[in-house]
Amino acid sequence: MQRPTRAEINLTALRHNFSSVRQQAGGAKIMAVVKAEAYGHGLARIAQELSNLGTNYLGVSFLEEGIALRKAGIYTPILVMGGLVDEQIEQYLDFGLDITVSSVWKARQVEAVAEKYATKAIVHLKFDTGMGRIGQQWHSAQLLLEAVTLLPHLELRGLYSHFASAESANLAYTKHQLDCFYSVLDMAHRLKLEFPLVHIANSGALLQMTEQTRFAMVRPGLALYGVAPGRHLEAKIHLQPVMTLRSEIVYVKKPPAGTPVGYGSTWRSPGERWIATIPIGYGDGYPRRAGNRAIVMLRGRRCPVVGNVSMDQITIDAGVEAYLGDEVLLFGKTGNSELPLWDLCAAIDAIPYEILCGLTTRTPRVYVE
């Protein structure tokens, strides 16, 4: 028996989205981003599905994610995009993972370990064009580009950067970053350095600045899971939600008017309303701030979450009709009912990434066709 609260992962929708993204990418290679448990959908299972669909690369944040995929029998090329810890370099080589190199110092560390083991390390040089996190500053790119020409144990597979706001309706800063990126590429060209995989486009850039940003490879993440990175982008590509979060009613009652509900007594029953309890809470990753703000679907009706969200339960104002075992849709699509994830995000001032990645392992993932 499975817990009534579950996240259903629609693999047919995943395949549809991958096809839509591949069409948008034209002839560019695809790096499917599967970090953070494939945005909460399940790292190994989703990575295997995407590999079967023909993704050219998988993108993760940490060494441990890459190792987990290798141990799961996935041999698609994998780039670890997070910061490099020098004590881990040997494991990158052991498990055949591409390394992000973001400074001269890091490049020399990787060279030393690769030389020690008489092998070559596959690296992607990362440059900061305005995100402000990992990456050699774009205006000092020559320092890193010149340094790697003297390191024979590095195989220069890729050169990349990351956009800070490519999902925004205002693309001025994204265009500025792209100009900075072109400056780095021009510098590499002058030094006669060749990189088979130049990449910068995330889902937002792929949808809004396709021709300018797709280069040799693109890095879709959220779009693969059926959610546009901005609500204004939904019309630019046909996506299907991969995750549906659902549960069912486990208790109903009709308390008298004025009865408080939930921790802190932040809501009181107006009377003559069925109040239903649903077994999901912030312990499952359903946001606590959804209390008195979010909406769920019950019998095709939109019903408000009332009272504060508890660790294990929420309560909803079910109106005039509610029964034990009734299905409750928290977001996603089931039958003729659909409650977009963006609706929950708008209600609580969140982003889709936060909700999807925040679902805990206590919520079972059920894979369906």
Q: Are 155 and 166 in contact (CB under 8 A)?
A: no
The rounded distance, in Å, linking the Cα atoms of 187 and 204 is 26
Of 337, 357, 353, give the one whose Cα is nearest residue 345.
353
Of 199, 29, 105, 96, give the one whose Cα is nearest residue 80.
96
Integer CA distances (angstroms), 204 to 54, 57, 201, 210, 213, in order:
22, 19, 7, 9, 10
Active-site hit among 75, 251, 263, 323: 263
Of 65, 56, 55, 72, give the one whose Cα is nearest residue 88.
65
7 pairs with which residues across the strands? Answer: 245, 365
Active-site hit among 35, 106, 126, 333: 35
The rounded distance, in Å, linking the Cα atoms of 206 and 191 is 29
Q: Are 158 and 79 in contact (CB under 8 A)?
A: yes
Helix or strand holding residue 217 (H, E): strand 217-218
The rounded distance, in Å, linking the Cα atoms of 231 and 224 is 15
Quick check: is 263 catalytic?
A: yes
For the chain, how many helices (H) and strands (E)? Answer: 12, 21
Tokens of 205: 């850039």
Q: How many residues are recorded in the chain?
A: 369
Q: Any idea of the CA torsion for 113, 114, 118, 121, to the nearest 10 degrees?
A: 160
Quick check: is 323 catalytic?
A: no
Integer CA distances (angstroms), 302 to 1, 22, 29, 243, 348, in order:
28, 35, 41, 19, 16
Regarding beta strands 57-60 and 29-33, do their DSSP bridges make them parallel or antiparallel, or are they unpaired? parallel
Helix or strand holding residue 303 (H, E): strand 301-306
Residues labelled as active-site residues:
35, 263
